[in-house]
Structures are given as structure tokens and as C-alpha cells.
Structure 1
Amino acid sequence: MNTTPALLDLEDRLDAAPSLPAVGSRFGDALREILNDDGAFDRHQEANLRPEVIEALESKISDAGVKFIYYMIPTLGGRTIAKVVPAEHVARNLRKGIAFHRTALTDLQTNRGGQLIGGGVAAQEFWALPEPDTFNVLPWDTDVARMFCTAYEPPHLEGVGGRLMEYDVRALFQRAHAAFTERTGLELRSGLEPEMTWAGPGMEVKTKDGQSPAYQVENLERMRPVYKKVIDYAQKLGFDMIEGDYEDNGQLELNWNYDNADRSTERLTVYRQICKQVARELGLEASFMPKPYNGKMGNGCHHNLSLWRGDENVIEDGSVQLHVTETAKHAIAGMLVHSPGSMLIMGSTVNSYKRFWDIGQFAPSGADWGLDTRGVAIRISSNGRMEYRLPDASVNPYLSHLYLLASIEDGLDRRLDPGSPESPSAELMDTQLPRTLGEAIDAFRADEYLMNAMPAGLTKIYLELKEDEWARYCGTISQWEFDQYWEAIP
């Protein structure tokens, strides 16, 4: 891999290449090299079959009394697929993996013509090798454990056998992050703020006109059975839970501490599973729908980002006054320049864009930034932290972090300037965010740098999924249309 030594100082690196072109990136070249590695499966399998690995995993299974194991992979749409296997077969699964139909990674979604997107009925299987270090016992049923897996092309396939599957977004982000660190010496850390809506008996709230139910202790008490179970399960699965609050009707946000972005992305996947389990236990519904109600706040998932070299946060310089460093400015500019092109990732559903049409609900509407103001795309709420506010609660965290990482690297490489909060730079002056899924599809296609940075197959399938979703929406007659037009035209 053609990389810059990890210990090279960031500012020296930036000074050495102040005018790198936006199109044609080391980020994309590195991803393509990763995906062309024919030996990836064999190395993973070899690591799994080390005697000490098998012995340690079998000991964990025996000590916990685990009888079943879920072998799981997040999909392109941010869901999770799995197979369940009796625990006594773990050594076999470490060697052979688990076979899935190829279109499982594209959520087994058909297009409007009824054809499976991502390969069709005749598509070949992929093999998923488990990662023993992700083994966890489910706290709500200790008979069951789970492990995340990495998806590979089966070794027997001519030309591609043994390679990482380009639709495995979890593995893709983790490897892209490792390559980014090798090139720059920097690690991306993130803290996520997943908002969500709970509905069902006891969740109803009444307020007087114009008053928000946010922060009221009575509403936290209403949610006590929910947050107690969610926090308990999360802590048992290794989360460092730090705070939570009630924000709008049925809307609860519970946060955990920031960490390496590889772990933060995985925790959001697990957090969603925890919430769905708690909802089943309490007879409630738990929804990550971005905008469930008009006139109420939508469900966002703000990404709080920082860049670290070892124990040093390189976007923090010790100053007390709220500000941004030069390194932070370059990163911010990269994220904002590519915010239109990445909106299809940050707002991945038709419903996502309803957040931006409802006035006064704290959702950002422009490609802008500011110091401790909630109406912008990137908020600097404290020194050393960049709060990226565009993603909503349905976001695929692996894809959002992948696209943010590529955007940050472009900003650092080209020393992009975001301007000031009051006066955006020339690069950002005319930048407009998409306001519908259809506009986001167009902006996604138009960002030449991001299109080049990401694997072509991943981009093609993601576009096919989103174009089909937009077409289904455009072809569906809504109640609003009946109300507006049924009697309106004599």
C-alpha cells in the first residue's frame, strides 16, 4: 500500500501537498487495494484456528452455559442478518464460517419489477467468518451469545475467491480506518447521540400549547422502566453509559462515552438490538424512524468527532475560549464540501428529509458550521469536538463514518477552508443540501471525489436500492393527496 509513514507530523504532511486534486484519492486507492486482496479469507481463517483462540472461546462458552450463538453481519441498509447455530459447533464455524445468500447484505430487497437487488435469485453465496473477540453473551437470555462476522467471497470462486465482500460495510469501514491511520497517524474517535421514539401504554404525554415536554423529570419517570432496562443491558455488553434525557413526545436519548470509531459504530448496531428487546419485554414499540410526527422533533443521530494521534487530540490545543484549530477547520471544510454528496448516506430514507422541512425543530438546513448553535450542520459545542448534526436515527453508522472519514481526509489533504461561522469560504458559498431523497440521489452521483473514493460495486448497489425506494414513494398516493385534491377541483 502506498502510504505516508504514520509518524509524519500532520502539518508537515499538509505543507508537502497543499494542492492535491479533489478527484483521484489515496483513500479510494487504498480501499481498492484492500478489496483486491486474495488472501484475506485465508489469513482470517488461520487466525481463528490458532489453538489458544479456540480454547479461549470454548472456555467462555462453557463458563457462561451458552447453548446457541448468533453469527451476525450488518447489512448495507443498517440492519443485521444472522444465523443461529448450537454452540458446540463453534470450532467448525471458526474454520468454515457461515454461508449466506449474497443478497442478504442488500437486505433481500426486490426492485419494483420483483428482482432481488444485488445479484438476483441465482446469485452465489458468500462465506462469513466469525470474529472471536466480538463474542458476547446476551444479558436478556444467557443461553444465547453472538459474534460479528466478516463476509468473504468463497475461496473457490475464480478471480475473486478469498476477497473481502465489498458490501460488508462494517469490515470495509474498519479496514478503511486502519489504512487512514497508517497514512496519517490519526485515529477517528466518535460519540453518537441516537434519538428514538417509544410508543405504547404509559408513553402518552400531554402538554399545554406551545410547550415542550423536554427535560421534565416527570417524563423521565414515565420512561423509567425503559431506561433502566436499556442501560442495564448496555452496561452488561460493555457500554460506558454516561447520560440521557427526554426530548419530545416519547423521544428518549441515551448516550454512551465516545471511543475509537470502530467500537462506536458497532455499539450503535448493538444499541438498536437492545432497544428492540426492551420494547418486546415491556409491550412497547421502539422506533428509529427519522421523523415520526409533524410539529415534533425528529430523531437525529449526531456524530461527535475528533482526531487523535496516540493520546493527543489534534483538534484541541488547550485554549479555553470556544474555537476551532486549523486542523479542525480543514476537517470541517472537508465534511461540509462533501455534505451534499454524502446526504444519501446521512439521510437514507424518504422520511429522513421531513426533518428539514419542519421549521424550528433544531434540524440543520445548510452546509454550515458554528460555535454552540444548534441550527448548523457542524456545531462546536466544546473544544476538541466536532458535532456533525446531519445523520438521523436510521443511519448506517459504518457507511456514515466511512464517508466522513473520506471527506475529512480530503479536507486535510487539500487544506480546505470553511471560512467563519458568519462568512463561509468560497468553496462553501454556494453549497446547498438536498431537501428530498431524489435530490440526494442526484447530489450523490455528482460528488466526483466520493464516487471515486468508494468501491464501484458498493456505490452501484446502494444507488439501485435508493432509486427504487424513491420510485416507490413517488408512485404511492398518500392521504395528503386525497385531502388536498379529492374535492378541490370542480
Structure 2
Amino acid sequence: MTITATRTELDKHRELNTDHAAVKSVKARIAEAGVEYLYYQIVTLTGRVVGKVVPARHLMRNVENGIQAHPGVVADLQADSSGALVGGSPERGECVVLPDLDSFGVLPWDHRTGFFFCRMYEPDHAPDGAGGRPVPVDVRGNLHRTHAGFTERTGLVMRSGCEPEVSWRMPGLSTEHRPGTPHSMYHIGQMEQLRPVYQRVMEYGRALGLDMVESNCEDPGQLELNWAYDLAERTADRLILHRQICRQVAREMGATASFMPKPEDDKLGNGCHHNVSFWRGEHNVLADPDNPDLHLTETGKHALGGILTHAAAFTAVMAPTVNSYKRYCHTGQFAPLEINWGMDNKTCAVRLPASGRLEVKSPDSLVNPYLSHAVLLAAAEDGLTQGIDPGPPRRAGTEPLPGPFGSLPLTLKEALDLFAGDRAVTRGLGPEMADMFLRLKTLEWERFCGAVTDWERMMYDGDGC
């Protein structure tokens, strides 16, 4: 009897990486650019980019065998109060990190260096039959699997575009706004002060495949530089690249690029609105091509209903830091609070700015795009499956009264409690990643609660108390 071994997901990825045409294309691009070093990159739960650098001459070895990494890096090697690693014991074996060849790029600021985004797998020798399986806490791999499952069950794919806002500080740049004077939103004079920044960020973005489109300045020192929408996985990769670009430009210019969601009390927050649409082939199911008015199809309403239903619970993912909730607390600054929707209404949590796309406004500038897109897929699928009604849109000029979907949480702790109790949202991440996310972010909240801040010193220390 002949026993045929089952092909694992690791085997399938290796087969893709040894495809002759794909390898030939990457080798040609490496040779053309003069690349000598390659970053093999993975993304952590908090959106940090980690990995290893390898001389490019070892390409084929790494294409087939990957690199090795401990899964604890996904949780930033953070330890809890007992000293235990959130990402697993040091005795746990390392993972195989395999590059996706179609993610290859060359750093536009140093053509000797290229990179791949990677996915993580258990090694062939892993115990208990786990050999070759995807590592469940790999955020990038999870989004690929979640999107594929969504498409298999619904026949739809999600396309998205992000609106990342970044606060810049640099010599000679005025970021002050005097009350009563004209605001700097869309002000070309403010854009001119930031011209060296936006030109270089756009230049590097174009070189890395970001189709840069309309961009603007919304607050003194704040830039929102946008690129064209695409499949959710590609948009997530590009948002990570955009942050890497901004940090590099900051280094080159002696500037600081802050992704802090609420960097100053009196300034607008840094959001990262997600514009999503759902497609069957080349047809956008959110829009009826025969209806010229601003509208949302029944299918679109059900997807929206799911997003609104789970918006409070997935806020922990969309606003993943202690600082994130200060952006919601400052009302009147375009950040949402009530969970509602409206037709081109900037006060709403979800806005329909044009027929065919939904703008989800809760994500901020430190969002992990692989997690945010995964939970949006899970929420939308629940709405499609259950036929959830989002209710009528909020009319302009009316008070945003509390509705059936409630309000967004106002602290990270409240958001984490809601996240833990929502099966649809946690299903988007899978049980192991949802558990690790909860542990990591609960640890962040506990450390914050134990920290003494400048605000406390101002309020309670000295003669003023």
C-alpha cells in the first residue's frame, strides 16, 4: 500500500515560491536594481515591522526554507507581571517565516536593499500533527485566510482604501493655531510648509507601488496622504509601507512623524478612516448603476448593519491604544461617538460619501490594518448572513440621539471587555490571536493604570492641591 502524505499549507507556499516564472521575475528585479540585502518582514499585533536581513545571494535558500523566528515576536516579546512571555514560552519552537514573492519591493532610499512581506508556519517537525500549519497569531496570514473564507462563503471580496493622518514636527514648521483665526484645514500655505515632506513621501510611495491620489493638510503640521483603493490585503501591506516611508522621511529631514491618535489636547486627532466596498467579480454590490442618487443597496445595508452591530466590540482593534480614546472624547472634532450612519455626514461613525463605498471612521493612525480588515470582514459577513437592518441614516441637522447600536467605548478597558464578549468579532481573528490580543492590550491598560502622569502631577502635587 502506498501512503500519500497530505500537502500542508507550508508545502503549498513552498511550491508557489519555487514557481520558475515567479522566481525568474524576482531575480531579474533584484539584479536590475542592484539589490544586495533583503529584509524578510513580519508584522506584529501592534503593527510593528520585525524580521531579519539576509544577503540577496541566499535568495533561493530563503525562498524555499524561509527564515526562523520565535512566535513571541508577534506580541513584541512583551512579558506579563509574572515574567511570562505573552507570545509563548521560550521553550516553544521557532516558526518558519516564508516570503510572498509578489510582495517584493526595493527601498527607494537605498536600492541596495529590498524586502518581502512574509507569512508564518509551524515547522515540518512540529509536534501533535501541527507541522506545516499556519501560525494562528500571524496577523498577515490571518487576513489572507479570513478574506479567502469570506469569499468562499459569500462570493464577495472586500476592497478598501485608508486615509492615514500623521502629525509632523520639524524645524521651521509652525503648528500653532490661535483661537479665532482661520483654521489651516486645506490651507495651501500650510501645505507649502510641508512641501518637502509630502513630495518625498509621495515619491517613495509611488516607487513602492502606492498610486498616490488627492491629499491634504487638516490641522497644523498634520498630513493625510492617500493612495488608490485595492484588495484588502494589498491595502494593509501598503499602509504598513506608508508608515515605514514616513519614518524614513522623518529620519532624512530631522523631523518627527507621530502616529499618536491624539497627540495634543487642542489638536485634531490622527485618524485612519477605512473606506470599504464589496465586489462580486467586477460588480460593486453596494451600488446600483441605474440609480444616480446617493444610495446603498439592500446587500450593502445588510453589510452595514453587521458593521454597526459589532462596531462597539471591534473598537478595541480600531482604536488599540490608551491614547486612542482621547480622540473620541473631544467631541466636535470629526471623530465619531454615537454608532450610526449617514449619507455624506461627517458626524457619523459610518459615512456613505459616495454610492459604492462605506467610510468607517473609528480606526485611528495606530490601527493594525491586518486586524482591522479581518474584523470588518467578520462583522460584514454577520450582517449579510443575518440580514441585519442598519436602520435609517441620520438626517443632517438633527441631534445624534442614541440608537440601537449604542455609543463607542471611551476607554481601552471598556473596549477590551466588549471585544472579549463578541463572538463574531473574535472569530475574525481566531481564538488564539484574539486571546493574545486581549492579553497584550490588557497588560498595556494595567501598565497605564499604574503610571503617574504629568496631568496627575499638575492636579494633585504642590500648592494647587
Fold equivalence (TM over 0.5): yes
Superposed CA deviations along residues 450-483 of structure 1, whole A, max 9, x for unmatched, are 3345421111111100100000011111121122
Cα distance between partner residues in 1 of 2:413 and 2:30: 48
Q: Counterparts of 2:460 and 2:33 in 1: how far apart (Å)?
A: 62
* 1:83-120 Cα deviation digits (max 9, x unpaired): 10000000011111000122111111222333321113
1:383 is aligned to 2:355: yes
1:435 paired with 2:410, answer yes
Q: Distance in 1 between matches of 2:463 and 2:314?
A: 39
TM-score (norm 1): 0.89
| Counterpart contact for 2:343–2:352, Cα < 8 Å | yes
User: Which residue is equivalent to 2:211?
Assistant: 240
Give yes or no for the alignment of 1:198 onto 2:168.
Answer: yes
1:215-265 Cα offsets, whole Å, 9 max, x none, are: 111110000000110000111111111111111121100110111111111
Q: Distance in 2 between matches of 1:471 and 1:38?
A: 44
Distance 1:38 1:113 in 2: 40
After superposing on structure 2, the runs of 4+ consecutive aligned residues of structure 1 that deviate more than 6 Å are none
Please give the per-residue CA displacement for 1:270-299, whole angstroms capped at 9, x wherever unaligned. 110011111111110111110000121000
Letter in 2 for 1:448: R
Whole-Å separation in 2 of the counterparts to 1:447 and 1:453: 10
Which residue is 1:174 aligned to?
144
Q: Deviations over 1:409-447 (max 9, x none)?
A: 0001111001112499xx951523211001001111121
2:130 aligned residue: 160
Out of 269-278 and 53-62, give the one that drifted further: 53-62
- What SS does the aligned partner of 2:274 have? strand
1:284-295 to structure 2, matched below 5 A, reads: 284-295=255-266
Matched, 1:230 2:205: no
- The answer to whether the 8 Å contact 2:163/2:273 transfers is yes
Unpaired segments of 5 or more residues in structure 1? 1-36
Aligned to 1:8: none
- State percent identity of aligned pairs: 46
Q: Is the 8 A contact 1:337 1:428 kept in 2?
A: no
1 CA distance for matches of 2:7 and 2:313?
A: 31
Alpha-carbon separation, structure 1, partners of 2:282 and 2:428: 29
Once the two structures are superposed, what CA deviation does each residue of 1:360-390 show, in whole Å capped at 9, x if it has no partner? Answer: 1110001111111111110111111100000
Note if 1:184 corresponds to 2:159: no
Residue among 77, 80, 97 paired with 1:108:
77
Equivalent pair of 2:377/2:428 in contact (CA under 8 Å): no
The alignment's TM-score, normalised by the length of structure 2, stands at 0.94
2:368 pairs with 1:393: no
In the alignment, residue 445 of structure 2 is paired with which amino acid? Answer: W
Cα RMSD, aligned residues only: 1.8
Contact 2:306 2:379 in 1 (8 A): yes
Q: Which residue of 2 aligns with 1:30?
A: none
Shift of 1:172: 1.0
String of CA shifts for 1:51-73, please: whole Å, max 9, x gaps: 33333322222222110000111
Partner of 2:295: 323
Q: Is the contact between residue 191 and residue 258 of structure 1 (CA under 8 Å) also seen in structure 2?
A: yes
Q: What is the distance in 2 between the residues matched to 1:279 and 1:231? A: 13
SS in 1 for 2:109: coil
Higher relative contact order (CA 8 A, sep 6+): 1
| Residue identity matched to 1:226 | V
Question: What SS class does the counterpart of residue 432 from structure 1 fall into?
Answer: coil
1:213 to 184, 188, 201: 184
| 1:86-485 correspondence to structure 2 within 5 Å | 86-158=55-127, 159-211=129-181, 212-318=183-289, 319-422=291-394, 429=404, 431-485=406-460
Distance across 1 between alignment mates of 2:148 and 2:123 = 24
